[in-house]
Amino acid sequence: MLPLVNKENHGTYSRYLRIRTLDEEVVLEAARIFSRFRDRGVIKGSTFGDDVWQLTDEVKNYGLYFGCEGRAFRAGAGQWCGVGCRTFEKCMKAYAVYSLGQISIEGIRVLVNEMKDLAGMDIDQAMRLAPGARIVEFISSLPGHGEARDRVVEAMEENRLSRSWKEKESRKLSEFRDYLRFDKELDGFWLAADAGQKVHYFPVYFWWKLTAVLPLRPTEFLLTPEDCLRQDGNGWVLSVRRTRNKKGHGKLSYRVKEDYEVCEYSIPAELAQEIRCYQTAVKPYRKPENRALLLPGDLSTSWHLTYQQLHARLDRLIKKELGDSSLTVNPGDTRHLAMINLILSGGSPAVCKELAGHEDIDISSHYYANISSVIEASVYELCRSGAQGSVLDGRMYFPAALPSARVRVEDGWCISEAAAEGLVTDCLKNYRGVGRLGECRDCPFFYPDRRGVRLKVLDERKKSVDLAADYLMQMIEAVRRGNGSEESILAAMARIQKAGNDYAGVLYREHMEAE
C-alpha cells in the first residue's frame, strides 16, 4: 500500500506526514498539486473541479471520470460512508491527485473506477468486497466518522487479508502447442514474404523473435528507440527501454525519458539484419516525432506503434497470411513464455532479478504450477516435426533410440555413458537422498522394460516438475516479501531445470516408442 503523504517544511529540511483524513485543507493542497502536474503537461486542459480529467504519460492518453449519480449514491454508499455525494467526489479527486507519481495513470484510472463502483453499493454489498489496500485506505480517510463505515472498513480488511495470493485469477494463456506452431508458421511466412509484407508485419516478427526470449512488457517493446542497433567486437547489440517503475525506484514523472532506462542486449546477426532492412524501408515515411523504431499506422496520432495496432497486425497475420484462425496468440503472452524458456534453459542471476525485483511480479500459480505442460508440448512438437529444438527450449535434444553404450540393470537399461565405463558418477549425481543408492527407477538414465513401470516413472517425473515449480513460486514470493534471498531462487531454478530435463527425456522416449 502506498500511503497518502503531506509535506511539512522546517527551514533546512522537509518531512512527509501520512494523511489520515481527506479534510478541506488536504483537498485544497490536492488542488495545488493538480496545478503543478497540469503545468508539467501531465494533465491536459482540465481543472480540479471538472468531472472529467485528461492525462498523458507520453505513451498513451487517459480520461478520469469522477461524476457520481446522486440518486444511486444516496441509495448506496450514502447510507454508510458518512459523507454526501459531492464530498465523496472531491475526496476521490484528492486521492487520485495524491496517487500521481506513486502509481501509473492506468492504475489511477482503475482505482477511480473502483471508487465510483463503490459509490453505488449498499452496506451489504460493500461488506462482501475484498478490495485492494488503496480502496480500504480511501474509505478510512473520508472525513467524519460513523459506525456503519467502521463496520464496512473492518469487513473489507478482513476479507482482503484472508484472500491468499494464490487465489488471484491466473493469466489465461493459449495451448503451448499454439505457440510452437505459430513459431514454425511465422518462419515459413517470412521466408516467402515480399518487401511490402515484411515492412507491414515486421513489428509482429520482431515482437515474437525478441520477446519470446527476452521478458519485455509489451510497452517496453513498443518503445524500442529508433536508433537501437550498434555493432561491437562480439556482434550486434540492441537497445530497448525498460521501465523504472520498480519497488524503491522513486516517483513516476510520466515522461518516457525519466520513467524508462535504456538497456542493451546482444542479439543474433539475423535479427539485426531484419531490423536494418526495416529501418531502411521506413526511412522515407519517418516523421520528426517518431522517436521509436516501430512506426504507427498512417492515421495514428501516436509517436509509436500502439498495443492495439500491434494486436491488429498480429491478428491479421494469423488469419489472412497464415490462414490459421484456430491459433490464439496475444502480445502479452511472450513475457511469460520468455520467463519459462529462461528457467528451463538455465536461467541466470539477471533472470532472478527480473522475476524478484519488480513490485508487480505477476506470478500466476496456475501457470507456473503447470509448467510440466510446457515440457509436454515442446517434446510433442519435437517428436512430431523432427526438428532439433523449439522456441521454448533450444537445448532439448534426446536420443531417438537406446544408445549402444548401455548397461543392463533390474527391469530395464541404464543409458549413462559413465555407467557403461564402470563409473558411478551419474548414480551419485542423481541420488536424491531417498531410498537406497543404486535404485534405478527414479534416475533419468533408467529406461524400463515394462510399460507399466514407464508410465509410473512418467507420473513421478510430472509430479516432480510441478512440485519444483511450486517451490520456485514460494522462493520468489519469499524474496518479494523480504524473507528470502536470490540464492534461494537460483537453487529453486536449478531444481526445476533438472526436473524438467528428466521429465522431457522420459517423455521423448515414450513418444518415440509409440511411433
Q: Taking residues 478-488, report their average pLDDT.
A: 67
Q: Taking residues 398-426, report their average pLDDT.
A: 75
Query: What would the grid cell of residue 463 be?
Result: 509430479
Q: Determine the pLDDT at residue 150.
A: 85
Q: Determine the pLDDT at residue 162.
A: 59
Write the pLDDT tens digit of every residue in 302-320: 889 998 899 999 999 999 9
Neighbours of 268 (CB within 10 A): 12
The yes-or-no verdict on residue 394 having pLDDT over 60 is no
Higher-confidence position of 329 and 280: 280
Neighbours of 24 (CB within 10 A): 12
The yes-or-no verdict on residue 364 having pLDDT over 80 is no
Q: Where are the domains of the chain?
A: 5-163, 176-332, 333-515
Identify which of 220-224, 445-449, 501-505 has the greatest average pLDDT: 220-224
Write the pLDDT tens digit of every residue in 112-161: 999 999 999 999 999 888 888 889 889 988 988 778 888 888 888 777 76
Cα–Cα dist 508/396, whole Å: 10
Q: Comparing C-alpha atoms, which of 246, 216, 292, 305 is closest to residue 104?
A: 246
Query: What would the grid cell of residue 457 be?
Result: 516413472
Q: Taking residues 19-25, report their average pLDDT.
A: 78
Backbone angles phi, psi at 514, to 5 degrees: -65, -35
Cα–Cα dist 473/418, whole Å: 34
Close Cβ partners of 11 (under 8 Å, ≥ 6 residues apart): none
User: How are the residues of the chain apportioned to helix, strand and coil, as percentages rounded to the nearest 5?
Assistant: 50, 10, 35
Strands 235-243 and 260-267: antiparallel
